[in-house]
Structure formats: structure tokens, C-alpha cells
Chains A and B, each alone.
Chain A
Amino acid sequence: EIVLTQSPGTLSLSPGERATLSCRASQSVSSNYLAWYQQKPGQAPRLLIYYTSHRATGNPDRFSGSGSGTDFTLSISRLEPEDFAVYYCQQYDSSPWTFGQGTKVEIK
């Protein structure tokens, strides 16, 4: 099973700042099948990024994904008020599909 470790656990930033979230895999995600989700309180997760760097339909271009192998990153170029939420990475390269434990982006 591929274990995903996200860091930091909490990121305290101000609107307009850049956010960089990390997701490290215990073994290579060789197909680059790595996704990122945003979850707000009381809501289902929303797919932001799939296949490491492809933005899902309807998501603003301030969200971008990068990485390969075991190290992946979600970047938010300039935080908007609606971006403060919990973010999860997920690998769907091998079964069982697994999620990271989440990074909370909070208002500083």
C-alpha cells in the first residue's frame, strides 16, 4: 500500500499570499496518477487536480500541481478567501487507492 504523507499539517497564511502544499509517497507513483482535492466544512471534497498537474474543469488557474515519483506539490498562487479549507492528495496508481491525511490552510 502506498502511504501518502502531507506537510505541513496546518498552513497559516494571509489572503494574497502563495501556498505550497507537499505530498510525499512511500513508494513511487509511477504513472503520475496523483490527485488533489479541496474540502470545506460540511461539504464533499472537490477535485482540483488530477494526473499530477491537470486542472479539473471549473477550477481557477491559481491552482497548479507538479511533481513526480514520490514528491508532489499543490501550489495556490494567491490565496482568495474561499481557498481556506482542507486539502487532500490521493494516489490512484495502485490498489488500494490512498489519501494523505490532509493539510489545513487557515487564515493567519
Chain B
Amino acid sequence: QVQLQESGPGLVKPSETLSLTCSVSGGSVSSASYLWGWIRQPPGKGLEWIGHIYYSGRTSYNPSLKSRVTMSLDTSKDQFSLRVTSVTAADTAIYYCARVVAGYELMPFDNWGQGTLVTVSS
């Protein structure tokens, strides 16, 4: 059974860069069978897709964040990462990493990390 775990600072200052890592156990980020995604949820609000990354390193980002977001893979550690630059209070949210199954029928976000709260504040 695959497990995902987010890690990173819980507090980031405005205008700085938010960096999170998702560690995958029980699976491989270099498998062609999966995509690896990030979703966020402001406290008490709904879900927002940030983007996802393929095993090849190809990425797809939400246009609302595209200019500030970078995702990457570390296949040697079975990890993938998220960077969001120039953060503001509007980026305060619970950040989730999740897996997408890229099979005959695409199956989105079947496994999630527990989520990590990132607060943007000085």
C-alpha cells in the first residue's frame, strides 16, 4: 500500500518561497503508471489543484499559479517537491500531495498525504 507524507516549514514569510517535499513509500515516483500531484485547501475552504508531475519530469500547472510554481522529482529518494515563490497570505493553506493512476482509465488522487498546514505571516 503506497503512503505519501508531506514535509516542510509550517511558517513562511510574505514574499519568500514555500518549499514542500512529498515522500512516497510503497511505490516509485519513476513508475510510468503514476502522476504525482499537489492540491491545497485554505482553512475552512474548498480544494484547489496546484499541478502534477509525470515520471518523465513533465509538468502541468494551474494557470492561476503557473508563474510562481515549480514541481520536481527526486527518483533516487522517491520524493517529489513543490516550490511556490513570492507567497502572500492568500497562499496560507493545507497542502496535500497525492497520486494519480495513469492507467487505461485515468484515476485521480487515489492516495493522499495527511496534509501540512503552511501559514504565510511575518
Q: Which residues of A contact B (CB under 8 A)?
A: 1, 33, 35, 37, 44-47, 50-51, 54, 56-57, 88, 90, 92, 95-102
Contact = CB atoms under 8 A, between A and B. Distances in A.
24 contacts: A1-B63, A37-B47, A44-B114, A45-B47, A45-B96, A47-B109, A50-B107, A50-B110, A51-B106, A54-B105, A54-B107, A56-B110, A90-B47, A92-B100, A95-B60, A96-B49, A96-B62, A96-B63, A97-B49, A99-B47, A99-B49, A100-B46, A101-B46, A102-B46
**Dominant secondary structure of chain A at its interface with chain B:** loop
Nearest to A6: B46
Interface string B83-117: 00000000000001010100001111110111100
A44 B97 CA distance: 10
Contacts of A99: 46-49
Report which residue of A37, A92, A96 has the largest number of chain B beta carbons within 10 angstroms of its beta carbon.
A96
B114 A47 contact: no
Interface residues of B, number: 21
A45 B41 CA distance: 11
Given A47-B109, A90-B47, A102-B46, 5 more contacts: A44-B114, A46-B112, A51-B105, A54-B105, A99-B49
B112 A45 contact: yes
B50 to A, nearest CB: 9
Contacts of A50: 105-108, 110
A17 B112 CA distance: 29
A20 to B, nearest CB: 20
B122 interface: no
A35 B48 contact: no
A88 B107 contact: no
A44 B115 contact: yes
Nearest to A51: B105
A96 B38 CA distance: 13
Contact of A92 (B96, B108, B114, B115): B108
B76 interface: no
